[in-house]
Structure 1
């Protein structure tokens, strides 16, 4: 079925005509500085002139606003909303907590662009729970005790995040971005597989943390503590919006590794992934001398993971999804 043509009234042709949405650059001077913005325009299919269609002006305003903020490195409205969600603070309490006037955040949410100074404060609070704690303590007397207490409880939990390396945070962020649902058990196993495949394809581990040989497979203890409240349920909490965009620090080669793991191991649930790790030498060797249900904190060394996956790579070729799927199938069928 052919798509219906978009039509609207063309003031040049003096009738309804079809139009095509295109992009074009415009120059705009803001505070005595010239910018070039790329906006959407509707072009008449008959005369080639621009048509004013419903909603396009609003879209252009949004496009210019977004690009201006990017030019000047200013936080977006979505960044501010995210900060409110992470720390469970309303507009006025957040304004006061950051040391702003009471209605400052309200004005920003309505579209007023923050100064660079205030934008930097918001961005720092968004990326650093420790900085947010500092601002909260500085302005404690300006906000309600209940709001202060709730925010401090969230901050204390979030600070645990920064016991994890930046590389680990980036990998977790990328996994969250690519998969709709991730349980703590599934996350632990995916991190372990990422480490193994990285040792093969990139000749180095993805992160420096060691995992331990727990009853239910390899576990990174600091990651476990961060998400333990979710148990076997998917990780869903606005607090972890702080992970957003951390994946931007990953290199192309690192993303290739994580994509391979997600597209192969990531199609299985946590219990199946646990079963796979229970069949692998690194976990089995670290568990020697322990009954199945006896806890242990024995380290699964990065070197043992590397050696094991290098050997398996010679058999299956882990540079492709096909090789990884063959490996997984072979383990699950034995």
Structure 2
């Protein structure tokens, strides 16, 4: 890595160190872990724009978490989830038409406005109420788009049959976009999809329970569906891409899971899940090879992946790679 050192008056190699930092924001001291670059030649601190941007992002993230405020990535998820633009949503909520644009550009929302946005993200019925009350604030086109998104939103589905079907759509998408995926690897990709989707959106991707089996987290219905493939890759030819009923946000999350976890074999993924808290805690008191149908509590999964998201400073779905790479390196280096 090369940067300009003002003391040496030349381009130099530099090293990066993590450091505890603090900043006064609105009268409150915010402590966070940032980074600094130091010249390898003279040891002086040098300016690197990427590190400045990283520190600003970490400060923003830490402050929002401390104050319980919605993140920029969560606001983007709202727009995608409900197929709505920044201006229409601002008007629908009775705010200034540029309010959401400012928030997405980095302005920090008030606690009141943040709580409204968080409730919209996690509760489609709340947005439905607002849509009915304030539909005159937006155009007919915007109204229809939001209405259709609410109608198609899988998180608001209430029947058991349709909720069970959701995991099948996820499986089909993973199989369609993966190469040589075995039943063992598929189970682990489903587990990571569930955990990270919950961490980034606040809702579960599907409602099926996950069990702590000897070889890691397992979704029982999917196990029995594909167990005849054994250790061989699953080959499915009887479905069309158009049959996979998932939202844009769901597909983007699954794409990131495939990129960042699908590159590993089933046995590597098994070892990864064995190192994580949800599987280990659920199997407390069991021998390594002892069978079990204990369910891994969804709240335990949610808590773990929220902590991972926070620890690695994940602002976007693409940041999942930081965790998968770090976990692999810890296990195999």
Name the structure 2 match of 1:114: 109
What's the secondary structure of 2:41's corresponding residue?
A: coil
What's the secondary structure of 1:163's corresponding residue?
A: coil
Q: Any gaps of 5 or more consecutive residues in structure 1?
A: 218-228, 248-255, 264-309, 311-334
Name the structure 2 match of 1:326: none
Report deviation, 1:139. Answer: 1.2
Name the structure 1 match of 2:53: 58
Name the structure 2 match of 1:97: 92
What's the secondary structure of 2:18's corresponding residue?
A: strand
What's the secondary structure of 1:198's corresponding residue?
A: strand
Give me the whole-angstrom Cα distance separating, in 2, the residues matched to 1:100 and 1:108.
Answer: 12
Spell out the pairing of 1:1-334 with structure 2 (5 A cutoff): 5-11=1-7, 13-158=8-153, 161-163=156-158, 181=177, 198=211, 201=214, 237-238=247-248, 240=250
Preserved contact between residue 87 and residue 155 of structure 1 (Cα < 8 Å):
yes
Preserved contact between residue 37 and residue 64 of structure 1 (Cα < 8 Å):
yes
Q: Over aligned residue pairs, what C-alpha RMSD do you find?
A: 5.2
TM-score by length of 2: 0.53
Aligned residues: 232
Preserved contact between residue 21 and residue 42 of structure 1 (Cα < 8 Å):
yes
Moved more, 51-60 or 118-127: 51-60
Q: Larger Rg: 1 or 2?
A: 1
Q: Any gaps of 5 or more consecutive residues in structure 2?
A: 192-207, 228-238, 258-265, 274-290, 292-333
Give me the whole-angstrom Cα distance separating, in 2, the residues matched to 1:143 and 1:134.
Answer: 15
Preserved contact between residue 18 and residue 36 of structure 2 (Cα < 8 Å):
yes
Name the structure 2 match of 1:295: none
1:199-258 deviation line (CA, Å, top 9, x unaligned): 8559x9969xx99x99x99xxxxxxxxxxx9766555532647989xx9xxxxxxxx99x
What's the secondary structure of 1:139's corresponding residue?
A: helix
Give me the whole-angstrom Cα distance separating, in 1, the residues matched to 2:18 and 2:169.
Answer: 32
Preserved contact between residue 88 and residue 151 of structure 1 (Cα < 8 Å):
yes
What's the secondary structure of 2:126's corresponding residue?
A: helix
